[in-house]
């Protein structure tokens, strides 16, 4: 019985590692990944990464965000990344002022069946730039309502 339990735990661990690797790979094909890598550990940047149980109420597999103080170089990098990645998007909602994306919502094609991917971006009134990547099984309307309006 103990051997069977160990085998089950090992199998569960391997499955978890495989799913985590797929989630990381899903973001690697996006240009915004370079923003997280380049600026995530920079002084003044706040990067948040959630996965696993922390997201189970939202039916998400991964949440990754970065917030930085407004900087023209970083803004240019983000804008170029969004322009590159939005060509893959199934749904795009943007606010553009003077040729600059000030807020954007992009729903990307599913990585695997029922795993949706989203990019969100906003220039805040407080002079911050926030970029978010999320993926999971929740449809976009339900996700946005849960994450940003608190409605179900």
Determine whether 33 is exposed, middle or buried from the number of CB atoms within 10 Å of its CB (0-12, 13-18, 19+).
middle
Work out the percent of the chain whose per-residue pLDDT is above 90.
49
What is the rounded CA–CA span in Å between residue 71 and residue 67? 11
The token duo for 114 is 């029922």
Tens of pLDDT, residues 2-30: 566 555 554 444 444 444 444 444 466 79
- 80's enclosing H/E stretch is helix 72-85
Task: Give pLDDT, residue 72.
Answer: 96
pLDDT at residue 54 tops 80: no
Tens of pLDDT, residues 110-149: 876 678 889 999 999 999 999 999 988 766 667 666 666 5
Task: Give pLDDT, residue 40.
Answer: 93
């Amino acid at each position: 019985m103990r051997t069977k339990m160990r085998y089950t735990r090992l199998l569960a661990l391997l499955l978890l590692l495989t799913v985590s690797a797929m989630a990381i790979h899903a973001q690697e094909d996006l240009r915004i990944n370079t923003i997280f890598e380049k600026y995530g550990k920079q002084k003044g940047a706040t990067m948040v990464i959630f996965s696993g149980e922390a997201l189970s109420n939202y039916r998400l597999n991964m949440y990754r965000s970065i917030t930085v103080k407004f900087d023209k170089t970083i803004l240019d990098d983000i804008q170029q990344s969004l322009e590159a990645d939005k060509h893959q998007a199934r749904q795009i909602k943007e606010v553009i002022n003077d040729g600059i994306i000030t807020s954007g919502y992009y729903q990307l094609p599913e990585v695997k069946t029922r795993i949706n991917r989203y990019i969100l971006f906003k220039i805040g009134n407080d002079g911050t730039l926030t970029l978010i990547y999320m993926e999971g099984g929740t449809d976009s309307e339900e996700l946005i309502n849960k994450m940003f309006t608190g409605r179900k």
